[in-house]
Amino acid sequence: MPTNNRLPNYINGQWQKSAATEIREVFDPATSELLSETPLSTAAEVDAAAQAASAAFESWRRTPATERIQPLFKLKDLMETHFDELARTIVLENGKTLDEARGEMRRAIENVEVACGIPTMMQGVFSEDIARGIDEFMIRQPVGVVAIIAPFNFPGMIPFWFLPYALATGNTAVVKPSERTPMTMRRAFELLEEAGFPPGVVNLVNGGPDTVNAILDHRTIRAISFVGSTPVAHHVYARAAANGKRVQAQGGAKNPLVVLPDADPEMTTRIVADSVYGNAGQRCLAASLVITVGEAKNTFTPALKEAAAGRVVGHGLQEGVQMGPVISPQSRDRISGLIEMGTKEGASLLLDGRFPDAPELANGSFLKPTILENVHPNSELAGTEIFGPVMGLMHAETFEEALAWVNSGRYGNMACLFTSDGAAARRFRYEVQAGNIGINIGVAAPMAFFPFSGWKDSFFGTLHAQSSHSVEFYTQTKVVVERWLEDWSRQF
């Protein structure tokens, strides 16, 4: 692979070749074709980006909010113009289907749109006459240089859960995409450059764990927005907090989905299968444990098996394909190992998607939909994030039992219920220990104007991604108490 396939960094308004001596190769997971190389940028490059962002901050924070959002409006237009190109880049480096990639880019754009409302969203509050001649008010000011660290599974969307708000509120930013899927952000940064942000306001540093640690330790960087697996999210949260930074760190998940006997059979089956197998199970809002209650076992077990077995697997750019590969051969082997572990723990393989034999799948990291039935609620498999197209099917006797299983998990990203009983739905919503809830919805992904509300080991921090939470996260409040006595004016 020629070195001109090595991805550049974007620092201080310049595309720069990284000085890194180590790289990571980026492959199309559907074909194993080598696409590019990610430089594992050094601490010095992180420092250069942070210094550039810091220098740009003084002028950017003084730019009126109404002016700061103008490049965001332009960016929205550019993202619409290049919508399919961005989606295709996601498919190439990540493997998901073109429809899934389009959905991802739509949510990215939606976040840009919401952030364009910053002049209203970051308004302060004013109390007149808290005492005679004294007023008090609170204003929001940007925190300074912020960093955004992303995972591989939504290379186009996740940086945009944060970046538009960070910039619109007057911060300057350093973005580090996943080293496994860095190409979409490279293209997005070309659009950010074209949108007209001043040099240094947005910076792109490619890299891996060492690059992340250099970000977490950098004195100038004041806030960290992270999305990835729970162990890394915890590490990021602890290390950045120990360095005095504010942190929001979204982690992994193991999302349960409960099906009551009165759930609509056709709709529920379709939605459950889409939730488990969409994005090849590689999304933090994928259902991975499906819990039928009572009679629902008899209706839904065969229906889910049929829906899973009928899913068309292949290259994400091919018409009609419903599920692409997982991200890498290592990931495929890890998932196969977990399926094996599940059977050793007593689950039965209702559908085995390992070792697909179709010749067109031979070169990629493919698994077909898999169902492990009778997963024990206390088993290791029930508590382990698989991040692949594997459904753990469990059968509870009662709604109570299902609720207890849901709440026994360590994660709390999402929980869903399928029913036509409003009281059951209300109870579920009220009692369940998760932050994103679906009622007759399989992927309860919040729109950009709601916060992405993970709980428990799915999130470390207080303020989540997107919407008003982002505005709070990226601003610090300043409270001013002012005394202006009328008498003083009469002196002139």
Contact call for residues 211 and 178 (beta carbons, < 8 A): no
Question: What is the rounded CA–CA span in Å between residue 438 and residue 460?
Answer: 22
Give start and end residues of each alpha helix (H) in 278-419: 296-309, 329-344, 380-383, 399-408
Taking CB under 6 A as the criterion, the residue among 149, 163, 276, 350 binding ligand NAD is 149
The secondary structure element, H or E, covering residue 161 is none
Taking CB under 6 A as the criterion, the residue among 12, 213, 374, 476 binding ligand NAD is 213
Does residue 227 touch ligand NAD according to CB under 6 A? yes
Question: What is the rounded CA–CA span in Å between residue 456 and residue 409?
Answer: 9
Q: Whose Cβ is closer to ligand NAD: residue 203's or residue 269's?
A: 203
Q: Whose Cβ is closer to ligand NAD: residue 230's or residue 269's?
A: 230
User: Which part of the chain contacts ligand NAD (CB under 6 A), choosing from 19-27, 165-173, 223-231, 303-311?
Assistant: 223-231
Taking CB under 6 A as the criterion, the residue among 76, 102, 140, 235 binding ligand NAD is 235
Q: Whose Cβ is closer to ligand NAD: residue 75's or residue 232's?
A: 232
Minimum separation from the CB atom of position 363 to ligand NAD (A): 22
- Give me Rg for the CA atoms of the chain: 24
Question: What is the rounded CA–CA span in Å between residue 301 and residue 415?
Answer: 20
Does residue 243 touch ligand NAD according to CB under 6 A? no
Q: Whose Cβ is closer to ligand NAD: residue 238's or residue 309's?
A: 238
Taking CB under 6 A as the criterion, the residue among 229, 407, 433, 440 binding ligand NAD is 229
Query: Which long-range CB contacts under 8 A does 12-17 form with residues at least 24 apart?
Result: 12/48, 12/49, 12/52, 12/55, 12/56, 12/199, 12/200, 12/203, 13/52, 13/193, 13/198, 13/199, 13/200, 14/199
Q: Whose Cβ is closer to ligand NAD: residue 153's or residue 275's?
A: 153
Question: What is the rounded CA–CA span in Å between residue 358 and residue 368?
Answer: 11
Q: Whose Cβ is closer to ligand NAD: residue 179's or residue 472's?
A: 179
Minimum separation from the CB atom of position 340 to ligand NAD (A): 20
User: Which part of the chain contacts ligand NAD (CB under 6 A), choosing from 84-92, 162-170, 171-179, 375-383?
Assistant: 171-179
User: Which part of the chain contacts ligand NAD (CB under 6 A), choosing from 113-121, 144-152, 424-432, 480-488?
Assistant: 144-152
In DSSP notation, 268-291 reads HHHHHHHHHHGGGG-STT-EEEEE
Does residue 269 touch ligand NAD according to CB under 6 A? no
Q: How many CB atoms lie within 10 A of CB 106?
A: 15
Backbone phi, then psi, for 327, in 5-degree steps? Answer: -65, -30
Q: Whose Cβ is closer to ligand NAD: residue 162's or residue 300's?
A: 162
Q: How many CB atoms lie within 10 A of CB 330?
A: 10
Does residue 413 touch ligand NAD according to CB under 6 A? yes
The answer to whether 116 is a known catalytic residue is no
Taking CB under 6 A as the criterion, the residue among 95, 155, 170, 208 binding ligand NAD is 208
Q: Shortest Cβ contact with ligand NAD: which residue?
A: 228
Contact call for residues 7 and 206 (beta carbons, < 8 A): yes
Taking CB under 6 A as the criterion, the residue among 247, 454, 470, 475 binding ligand NAD is 454
Q: Whose Cβ is closer to ligand NAD: residue 213's or residue 299's?
A: 213
Question: What is the rounded CA–CA span in Å between residue 11 and residue 488?
Answer: 51
User: Which part of the chain contacts ligand NAD (CB under 6 A), choosing from 10-18, 246-254, 333-341, 477-485?
Assistant: 246-254
Taking CB under 6 A as the criterion, the residue among 52, 185, 205, 212 binding ligand NAD is 212
Contact call for residues 94 and 29 (beta carbons, < 8 A): yes
Does residue 442 touch ligand NAD according to CB under 6 A? no
Contacts of 36 by beta carbon, 8 Å cutoff, 6+ apart: 5, 6, 7, 25, 26, 182, 183
User: Which part of the chain contacts ligand NAD (CB under 6 A), choosing from 15-23, 73-81, 452-460, 469-477?
Assistant: 452-460
Does residue 284 touch ligand NAD according to CB under 6 A? yes
Query: Which long-range CB contacts under 8 A does 293-299 form with residues at least 24 apart?
Result: 293/258, 293/259, 293/260, 293/261, 293/396, 293/397, 293/398, 293/399, 293/401, 293/402, 294/260, 294/261, 294/396, 294/397, 294/398, 295/261, 296/259, 296/260, 296/261, 296/263, 297/395, 299/261, 299/265
- For 330, half-sphere exposure in the C-beta direction (CA atoms, 13 angstrom radius) is 2
Question: What is the rounded CA–CA span in Å between residue 445 and residue 437?
Answer: 9
Does residue 153 touch ligand NAD according to CB under 6 A? yes
53 token code pair: 């962002």
Task: Determine the size of the site formed for ligand NAD (CB under 6 A).
Answer: 29
Does residue 255 touch ligand NAD according to CB under 6 A? no
Minimum separation from the CB atom of position 1 to ligand NAD (A): 21
Minimum separation from the CB atom of position 108 to ligand NAD (A): 13
Q: Which of residues 352-411 bind ligand NAD (CB under 6 A)?
A: 385, 387
475 token code pair: 């601003």
Q: Whose Cβ is closer to ligand NAD: residue 226's or residue 300's?
A: 226
Does residue 101 touch ligand NAD according to CB under 6 A? no
Contact call for residues 379 and 276 (beta carbons, < 8 A): no
Q: Which of 116, 227, 284, 347 is catalytic?
A: 284
The residues annotated as belonging to the active site are 284
Q: Which residues bind ligand NAD (CB under 6 A)?
A: 149-154, 176, 178-179, 208-209, 212-213, 227-229, 232, 235, 250-253, 284, 385, 387, 413, 452, 454, 458
